[in-house]
Structure 1
Amino acid sequence: MRHPISARAARRSGVRVGALVLTAATATSVVAVGASAALPRANDPYKKQQLVVRSADGGIATEPDFSHDSRANRFLGYVSTATNIAGTVARGTRNVYVLSRTGSIQASGNAWQPGASRLVSAGLGGQPANGDSWAPSLSGFTKAGDAPGAAKQMAFLSNATNLVAGTPADGRTFAYVTPVGGGALRRIDAPGSATGVEVSGDSTAVVVSTTTGLYLFTPRNGKVRQLVKAAGITDPSVTARATEVVYARGSSIYTKRTSGNPRSKRVAQGSHPDVDAGGQTKKDKGRVRAVAYTSGGKAFRKRLDTGVVEDLGSQDVTTNVKLNAGGSTIVYGTGRDVGVRVRVLESLKFGGYDRAQGTCPEGQGDVTHVAVSTRYNYVAFTCEGGGLYLQHVGEK
């Protein structure tokens, strides 16, 4: 997306950020990028945002996730406890849905028009799921010429026992994968109880963290392969080509190649990591270029080529952080507002926004979860009051 860089940067207040405890394995330096004490709201903070999922029965929407098909972003996954969205569900149960985009879809990233939602976590025979489902993850990637690569798969977690026949009723959580446009669910039988899941952008692999380790599932042959044997792994995030995965364990963040047998590498101190889609050149070979994460209530990005940690906003981060596919943009919630900070990997130009890019309306409480599209044309977020909102940041 093309936005003014130097003019926006000049308007920043430059408030110094709080210190981050570093180790040799964390980074060589910290750079404060366009920091400010607060995000002022525009005169009309709702001008470019729309409520795309409304619950009439008091249900709560959470955990949005875009499909990553360039600027098309044809699908938006989310979780809701509502009973009146689609399908047959049990009151109070968390279910996974996918919302389809409709209307004109242009290569420039024009305004996103919501279509219909489909229940993904449906029980066998059309019955309600008898347990919670959450953590939706959608595939999709960018081809040559910025063309969208199809979003084919959707993964999620569930402790329901009636989504797939033969599911053990032993209290475990399993990861599931299914065609994003509709089709049969497949249970991923990785050892232990699942704690996190993410599908690769090219749909060739699903990474699952469990109570026993980190695993790679290949939908093509149905095989599960162990990547790391360790307890306490959460928040796996994988590159578009399934070349490398990032995960959290304890208060540390690690990278791990998915081929060969290299050891995991500690790259940062923090939690809730999210990675870019991976390098597109032969030199990068699809490897992680940048990792976004939280530490001490702040949002950070670490560039793995230089080891430099960049602070992309000094506000207190009260949600997860998400990094777009290009690795340039971190999105996060801070109270009622959604912050967007841009630092282009190649040029290092700063394009952070001096206004909130999304705000929970009065009476809807604070932001609970955020998501960002491939090229940061769109931001999705949920509020404590229950709604799922979408902000059109702008066309390229």
Structure 2
Amino acid sequence: MALTTVAVDVLVIDVLKASEAQVGLVRASQFLPYLVLGLVAGAQVDRWRRRRVLIGFNLAQALLLLGIPLLYAAGALSVTSTAVVLFASGCCAVYVAAAEQAYLPDLVPRRTLVLANARLGQAMSVAQTLGPAVAGFLVAAVSAPVTLVVSSLARGFNAMSIFRIRRPEPPRDVERRPIVREIGEGLSFTYRHQTLAPLAVSTHVWFLANSIAVTLLGLFVLRDLSLSAAAYGAVLTAAGVGSLLGALAAPRAARRLGEGNVIIVSRAACALAWAAIAFTPTAAATSVIIGYLGVLQLLCGASMGLEDPSEMGYRQAVTPRVMLGRVNSVLRSANRSMAVVGALVGGVLATAFSFRTTLLAVAALFLTAALVGAGSPLRGARSGRVPVAP
């Protein structure tokens, strides 16, 4: 994912010379599949074998990503064709995301869900730490399109790793009802739940803010500050380091504070970091700018690494197993829909306003996400205090 992010940003901004609005369009194309397919994918994943879904759609995503370097080699790559390929790859990612979050509770006991999610977060953080630096080096050495070949191979490796899991899955519910009814059950459970509902709203606002933020960051670093792809990779690497540190601390933080409080504090930390990014010393030496942005991205990454295991573990603990695919997809579809809006809004705001003004607005949205959680039963919530989900 980190390789793909850097390679696509450099490809679209530096190679294809996309406008700010086009950058937002490409970013939105990666999230739009969650709006189109998310709810259906969740219901289908609750019917299917989740391991098979993960293997098949990871392989399909690997093949699709190869389309970008092939189009580039043929001289046929454009902003539009890049967005189309990323949209198709995103459709595969919808099923992968729905299946992987529903599959984990089949593999580990309920009491270890936060720890298991933290371990996954740590592995992802290592990839996010090394990925941007490696991507920056590869982009400089062999070009952005060729770097996407490596990203494609990584998807294939994911599929092969899951293929090696031999633990049998529990049987699926054999009853088949209209898919619209099953989707409705997922929506009703999510948005009527005492703690999942405010968690969902807070997360939706967080995704809106984060999508605007990441859309702006690439433009801000590569275009406004005129830093190199390697420098951009270094800034994102700092976020990966922070994410790893946060994931390492996540299990202990959840035990001491409770999952709900960890989520709220982490989202407030995001607000602080992006507010500070708005005041980046643009007239300073390049090394100072990279260091300043790196420290703040470290804080952003740490907050996400700390928060994600608590959010995932709590959600998996309070959701009945037979509804995990639907509930996860309801939340992910709504979150990614907010990300689509955020990517488009980010591109428009970058054109209409200064980066400082827009980044301060982003910080205000992150703070809103924290306040939504703080003013609800999510404050103080712990998975150990809820009944065991069947």
The verdict on a shared fold, with TM-score over 0.5 as the criterion, is no
Question: Which structure carries more helix by proportion?
Answer: 2
Normalising to structure 2: TM-score of the pair?
A: 0.27
Normalising to structure 1: TM-score of the pair?
A: 0.26
